[in-house]
Amino acid sequence: MSGASNPVMNIDPSQEDQAKLAEFEQKIADGLLIEQGDWMPEAYRVGMLRMAEHHANSEIIGALPEGEWITRAPSLRRKLGLTAKVQDEVGHGQMLYRVSQDLGKPRDEMLRDLCTGKTKYHNCFNYPAPTWGDIAMIQWLIDGAAIMNQKTLADGAFGPYVRTMHRINMEEAFHFKSGEDMVLTLMSGTKSQKAMTQEAFDRWWGPSVMFFGPHDKPGCKDLPPMKWRMKTETNDSLRQRFVDRFAPAAIDLGLVIHICEKDDEGMVTSKRVDEQCVEDKETGHWGFTDPDWDEFFRVIRGNGPCNAHRLALRRFSYEQGAWVRHAIASGSTSLPPAA
């Protein structure tokens, strides 16, 4: 599972060298990519650094909920697939941290800022994955959403980030396909498998619709993040694309799209059918009930079901590994053993 990269960006380009800025913006308008070493506005450097860092953080934390299920995967092939997928996420995090590292922030500092909550990661990883059905839903819905988002990010303007996106998308295709295979298997399975899958779907549909971030502000296309092609699509158009793709697929599978109330642990307490989720035959678009944005901001502020646990486990892992990093940074195979 992988993250959208929509950290809040307050960018003020008025302090920049205006001639160079104009040249930079022209380059982007001409569809050219910005490469490391090119002149770029300070706001762009910082913005791209934070965007890649947020994305990397999301990959590293995203490895945790699914990691919980590696030991319980119900067949050898699923066990291998899930391990490889979680491993890919660590790999994506590693490659994305590199982009930010080149833009000026040391990796270790980024890993520490993640542990202490100074920097954020994608909201959807603060929800629990209490059953195997959740693993199927994460790979199908969240990775599906991630691919949609990252395909547009691969169309961005920063060369190093774009190259990383291309690589990541290749691997995400495996994650999504394996998720689709799991959902299909479960929904073609026994009564209890179907019930488990519906319950997991109820938990993940809301976070998936929220995945692309809050509604766009008016005029966002003229603001730096989009003008400089750090991102190339609005949150709302990505969201619509997602619903158009996944709502009919869910219905074909026999799933019911619900509007759910959840408790503090992220478990569904009540639900009703989302009557708005039907196709508009004229536009071809699917309707949906706007998600609970209060919940979204509550979770972003750190009060989601799993925020504390995810960060604590990440920090534990960081601290547990300290002696290894220390030893290999000072050791060498060519040295004789210490006396």
Partner 1 sequence: MTNAMDMMLNDLEALLVLKLADDKLFLGHIQSDWTGLGPILEEDIASSSMAQDDLSHALVLYEYLGSRFSIDPDVLAYERLPSQYLCCDLVTVPDDFDWAKALIRRWFFAHYAAPVLDQLALFNDSDLVERCRRLRAEESLHISYLNDWMQRLSSGSKEAIVRLQNAIDFMSDDARMLFELPGMILNVDRPSFDGREELFNEWSSSTHEILSTTNLKTNITLPTTTVKGGRNGVHADHFIAQLTEMNEVRCKDPGAAW
Partner 2 sequence: MSKIRQRHFTFDQDLVPSRDEALKSYIVYTSKKDGAPHRYAGYLNAPDINMAVEYACEHYGQDEICVNIWVHDVEVIHQTPCAEVTIDMDLARDAQDRDEHPKWVVFTQRRRGDIHIEAGAIHAPDSENALRVAIARHGKETVQVRVVPWDQIESTKPNQLIWRTHDQTYRLARGYSKSVRAKWAAVRDAADLNEYTKDDIQNHF
> Residues in the site for partner 1, rule: CB under 8 A?
60, 63-64, 67, 70-80, 83-84, 86-87, 89-91, 93-94, 97, 132, 185-186, 188-190, 192-193, 313, 316-317, 320-333, 335-338
How distant, in Å, are the alpha carbons of 59, 62, 96, 131, 297 from that of 65?
Answer: 11, 6, 20, 11, 21
> Does 38 help bind partner 2 (rule: CB under 8 A)?
yes
How far is the C-alpha of 176 from the C-alpha of 329, rounded, in Å?
37
> Does 32 help bind partner 2 (rule: CB under 8 A)?
yes
CA atoms within 13 A on the CB side of 325: 7
Strand partners, 225: none
**Least Cβ distance, residue 167 to partner 1 (angstroms):** 14
How far is the C-alpha of 125 from the C-alpha of 66, rounded, in Å?
10
CB burial of 141-155 (b: ≥16 within 10 Å; e: otherwise) equals bbbbbbbbbbbbbbe
Nearer to partner 2, 98 or 285 (CB): 98
Q: How many CB atoms neighbour CB 138 within 10 A?
A: 29
> Does 335 help bind partner 2 (rule: CB under 8 A)?
no
> Does 254 help bind partner 2 (rule: CB under 8 A)?
yes
As to burial, measured by CB atoms within 10 angstroms (0-12 exposed, 13-18 middle, 19+ buried), residue 106 is exposed
**Least Cβ distance, residue 298 to partner 2 (angstroms):** 22
| Binding partner selected for residue 19 from partner 2, partner 1, none, CB under the kind-specific 5 to 8 Å limit | none
| Binding partner selected for residue 184 from partner 1, partner 2, none, CB under the kind-specific 5 to 8 Å limit | partner 2
> Does 331 help bind partner 2 (rule: CB under 8 A)?
yes
Under DSSP, is residue 258 helix (H, G, I), strand (E, B) or coil?
A: strand
| Binding partner selected for residue 60 from partner 1, partner 2, none, CB under the kind-specific 5 to 8 Å limit | partner 1
| Binding partner selected for residue 282 from partner 1, partner 2, none, CB under the kind-specific 5 to 8 Å limit | none
The site string for partner 2 over 168-187 (x = CB under 8 A, - otherwise) reads --xx-xx-xxx-xx--xx-x
